[in-house]
Structure 1
Amino acid sequence: MDLKEVMARNLRRTRHDQKLTQEELAERSGLSARYLGAVERGDVSASVTVLGRIAEALGVEPAELVKRSGRRS
Protein backbone atom coordinates (compact mmCIF):
# COMPACT_ATOMS: atom_id res chain seq x y z
CA MET A 1 0.00 0.00 0.00
CA ASP A 2 1.52 3.33 -0.98
CA LEU A 3 1.59 6.35 1.31
CA LYS A 4 -1.29 8.02 -0.52
CA GLU A 5 -3.50 5.01 0.28
CA VAL A 6 -2.27 4.90 3.89
CA MET A 7 -3.23 8.54 4.34
CA ALA A 8 -6.61 7.97 2.69
CA ARG A 9 -7.41 5.09 5.03
CA ASN A 10 -6.21 6.90 8.17
CA LEU A 11 -8.03 10.09 7.22
CA ARG A 12 -11.32 8.29 6.64
CA ARG A 13 -10.98 6.31 9.90
CA THR A 14 -10.11 9.39 11.95
CA ARG A 15 -12.93 11.43 10.43
CA HIS A 16 -15.43 8.64 11.11
CA ASP A 17 -14.12 8.21 14.68
CA GLN A 18 -14.86 11.91 15.25
CA LYS A 19 -18.28 11.54 13.60
CA LEU A 20 -17.54 14.27 11.07
CA THR A 21 -18.86 14.46 7.54
CA GLN A 22 -16.55 15.31 4.68
CA GLU A 23 -18.33 18.65 4.42
CA GLU A 24 -17.72 19.44 8.10
CA LEU A 25 -14.04 18.54 7.83
CA ALA A 26 -13.74 20.54 4.61
CA GLU A 27 -15.16 23.60 6.35
CA ARG A 28 -12.84 23.19 9.35
CA SER A 29 -9.78 22.77 7.14
CA GLY A 30 -10.64 25.40 4.56
CA LEU A 31 -10.60 22.84 1.74
CA SER A 32 -13.34 21.95 -0.69
CA ALA A 33 -15.38 18.86 0.11
CA ARG A 34 -14.70 17.59 -3.42
CA TYR A 35 -10.92 17.82 -2.95
CA LEU A 36 -11.09 16.29 0.52
CA GLY A 37 -13.13 13.39 -0.90
CA ALA A 38 -10.48 12.85 -3.58
CA VAL A 39 -7.76 12.73 -0.90
CA GLU A 40 -9.86 10.29 1.13
CA ARG A 41 -10.32 8.01 -1.88
CA GLY A 42 -6.60 8.14 -2.64
CA ASP A 43 -7.27 9.77 -6.03
CA VAL A 44 -4.88 12.66 -5.34
CA SER A 45 -1.75 13.12 -3.23
CA ALA A 46 -2.05 15.81 -0.60
CA SER A 47 0.83 18.23 -0.17
CA VAL A 48 2.45 18.55 3.24
CA THR A 49 0.65 21.88 3.61
CA VAL A 50 -2.72 20.21 3.03
CA LEU A 51 -1.73 17.34 5.33
CA GLY A 52 -1.06 19.92 8.05
CA ARG A 53 -4.39 21.68 7.50
CA ILE A 54 -6.32 18.41 7.67
CA ALA A 55 -4.43 17.22 10.76
CA GLU A 56 -5.04 20.54 12.53
CA ALA A 57 -8.74 20.41 11.66
CA LEU A 58 -8.92 16.89 13.12
CA GLY A 59 -6.82 17.78 16.19
CA VAL A 60 -4.20 15.12 15.47
CA GLU A 61 -0.51 15.16 14.63
CA PRO A 62 0.17 14.98 10.88
CA ALA A 63 2.21 11.82 11.46
CA GLU A 64 -0.94 10.03 12.59
CA LEU A 65 -2.40 10.42 9.11
CA VAL A 66 0.59 8.86 7.35
CA LYS A 67 1.46 6.20 9.91
CA ARG A 68 1.36 2.68 8.52
CA SER A 69 -0.42 0.08 10.65
CA GLY A 70 1.53 -2.85 12.02
CA ARG A 71 -0.14 -5.17 9.49
CA ARG A 72 1.33 -5.77 6.08
CA SER A 73 -0.94 -5.31 3.08
Structure 2
Amino acid sequence: MNERDLRSILSLNIKKYRNYRKLSQAEFAEKIGISIPFLSDIENGKKWLSPRTLAKIASALNIEAYELLKPEKLIPDNIVDILEKYKVDINEAFGKTLGDLHENFISQVITK
Protein backbone atom coordinates (compact mmCIF):
# COMPACT_ATOMS: atom_id res chain seq x y z
CA MET A 1 0.00 0.00 0.00
CA ASN A 2 1.39 3.38 -0.94
CA GLU A 3 0.61 6.89 0.30
CA ARG A 4 -1.98 7.45 -2.43
CA ASP A 5 -3.86 4.29 -1.42
CA LEU A 6 -3.74 5.29 2.24
CA ARG A 7 -4.98 8.79 1.47
CA SER A 8 -7.82 7.36 -0.60
CA ILE A 9 -8.85 4.95 2.18
CA LEU A 10 -8.68 7.73 4.78
CA SER A 11 -10.72 10.17 2.70
CA LEU A 12 -13.43 7.62 1.92
CA ASN A 13 -13.68 6.51 5.54
CA ILE A 14 -13.92 10.04 6.93
CA LYS A 15 -16.71 10.84 4.49
CA LYS A 16 -18.49 7.54 5.16
CA TYR A 17 -18.41 7.90 8.96
CA ARG A 18 -19.37 11.59 8.76
CA ASN A 19 -22.35 10.74 6.57
CA TYR A 20 -23.27 7.86 8.87
CA ARG A 21 -23.40 10.36 11.74
CA LYS A 22 -25.55 12.60 9.53
CA LEU A 23 -23.15 15.53 9.77
CA SER A 24 -22.70 18.04 6.97
CA GLN A 25 -19.20 19.10 6.07
CA ALA A 26 -19.90 22.48 7.68
CA GLU A 27 -21.13 20.93 10.94
CA PHE A 28 -18.25 18.49 11.08
CA ALA A 29 -15.58 21.04 10.21
CA GLU A 30 -16.84 23.32 12.99
CA LYS A 31 -16.95 20.41 15.44
CA ILE A 32 -13.29 19.51 14.83
CA GLY A 33 -12.04 23.08 14.41
CA ILE A 34 -10.96 23.10 10.77
CA SER A 35 -12.21 25.00 7.73
CA ILE A 36 -14.81 23.53 5.38
CA PRO A 37 -12.45 23.77 2.36
CA PHE A 38 -9.74 21.90 4.28
CA LEU A 39 -12.20 19.15 5.25
CA SER A 40 -13.37 18.97 1.65
CA ASP A 41 -9.77 18.62 0.47
CA ILE A 42 -9.15 15.84 3.00
CA GLU A 43 -12.32 14.01 1.94
CA ASN A 44 -11.32 14.34 -1.71
CA GLY A 45 -7.80 13.05 -1.05
CA LYS A 46 -6.18 16.36 -2.01
CA LYS A 47 -4.73 17.18 1.41
CA TRP A 48 -3.07 15.18 4.13
CA LEU A 49 -3.69 15.82 7.81
CA SER A 50 -1.68 15.91 11.00
CA PRO A 51 -1.90 13.16 13.61
CA ARG A 52 -3.61 15.72 15.87
CA THR A 53 -6.34 16.37 13.29
CA LEU A 54 -6.71 12.63 12.70
CA ALA A 55 -7.25 12.15 16.44
CA LYS A 56 -9.82 14.99 16.53
CA ILE A 57 -11.70 13.48 13.60
CA ALA A 58 -11.75 10.02 15.17
CA SER A 59 -12.88 11.40 18.51
CA ALA A 60 -15.66 13.46 16.91
CA LEU A 61 -16.83 10.35 15.04
CA ASN A 62 -16.62 8.28 18.23
CA ILE A 63 -14.25 5.73 16.68
CA GLU A 64 -10.61 4.77 17.05
CA ALA A 65 -8.20 6.55 14.68
CA TYR A 66 -6.99 3.28 13.16
CA GLU A 67 -10.54 2.61 11.91
CA LEU A 68 -10.16 5.55 9.53
CA LEU A 69 -7.14 3.86 7.97
CA LYS A 70 -8.72 0.45 7.45
CA PRO A 71 -9.72 -0.55 3.93
CA GLU A 72 -13.44 -0.85 3.22
CA LYS A 73 -15.39 -3.42 5.16
CA LEU A 74 -16.28 -6.74 3.63
CA ILE A 75 -19.96 -5.88 4.03
CA PRO A 76 -20.98 -3.16 1.57
CA ASP A 77 -22.43 0.05 3.03
CA ASN A 78 -25.84 -0.54 1.47
CA ILE A 79 -26.12 -3.86 3.35
CA VAL A 80 -24.98 -2.20 6.58
CA ASP A 81 -27.61 0.52 6.03
CA ILE A 82 -30.32 -2.10 5.47
CA LEU A 83 -29.29 -4.02 8.59
CA GLU A 84 -29.27 -0.80 10.60
CA LYS A 85 -32.66 0.24 9.24
CA TYR A 86 -34.26 -3.09 10.19
CA LYS A 87 -32.20 -3.70 13.35
CA VAL A 88 -35.23 -3.79 15.66
CA ASP A 89 -37.11 -6.21 13.39
CA ILE A 90 -34.03 -8.41 13.01
CA ASN A 91 -33.44 -8.47 16.77
CA GLU A 92 -37.09 -9.35 17.41
CA ALA A 93 -37.01 -12.12 14.80
CA PHE A 94 -33.75 -13.60 16.06
CA GLY A 95 -34.86 -13.18 19.65
CA LYS A 96 -38.03 -15.15 18.94
CA THR A 97 -36.12 -17.80 17.00
CA LEU A 98 -33.52 -18.19 19.75
CA GLY A 99 -36.27 -18.27 22.36
CA ASP A 100 -38.05 -21.01 20.42
CA LEU A 101 -34.82 -22.99 20.09
CA HIS A 102 -34.16 -22.62 23.80
CA GLU A 103 -37.68 -23.79 24.70
CA ASN A 104 -37.35 -26.71 22.30
CA PHE A 105 -34.01 -27.68 23.83
CA ILE A 106 -35.31 -27.42 27.40
CA SER A 107 -38.40 -29.46 26.59
CA GLN A 108 -36.25 -32.17 25.01
CA VAL A 109 -33.90 -32.25 28.00
CA ILE A 110 -36.77 -32.40 30.48
CA THR A 111 -38.59 -35.18 28.64
CA LYS A 112 -35.49 -37.42 28.50
Given the two structures, how large is their TM-score scaled by the length of structure 2?
0.59
Residue of 21, 25, 30 corresponding to 1:27 = 30
1:38 and 2:49 matched:
no
Using a 3 Å threshold, how does the CA distance of structure 1 residues 18 and 70 change in structure 2: closer, same or farther? closer
**Secondary structure in structure 2 of the residue aligned to 1:59:** coil
Q: Could you list the runs of 5+ residues in structure 2 that have no partner in the other structure?
A: 75-112
Alignment equivalent of 1:2, drawn from 1, 5, 10: 5
The SS at the match of 1:20 is coil
Pairwise CA distance, 1:70: 5.5
What is the aligned counterpart of 1:15 among 14, 18, 22? 18
Question: Could you say which structure has the greater relative contact order, defined with CA pairs below 8 angstroms and 6 or more residues apart?
Answer: 1
Distance 2:53 2:64 in 1: 13
Q: How many residues of Structure 1 are paired with residues of Structure 2 in the alignment?
A: 71
Can you list the C-alpha shifts for 1:1-26, whole angstroms capped at 9, x where unaligned?
Answer: 61011000001110111110001111
Distance 1:36 1:68 in 2: 20
> Counterpart in 2 of 1:48?
51
User: Rg: which structure is higher?
Assistant: 2
How much has 1:69 moved relative to structure 2?
A: 2.6
Larger helix share, 1 or 2: 2
Q: CA deviation at 1:53?
A: 1.0
Offset at 1:45?
A: 1.1
Name segments (4+ residues, structure 1) moved above 6 Å: none
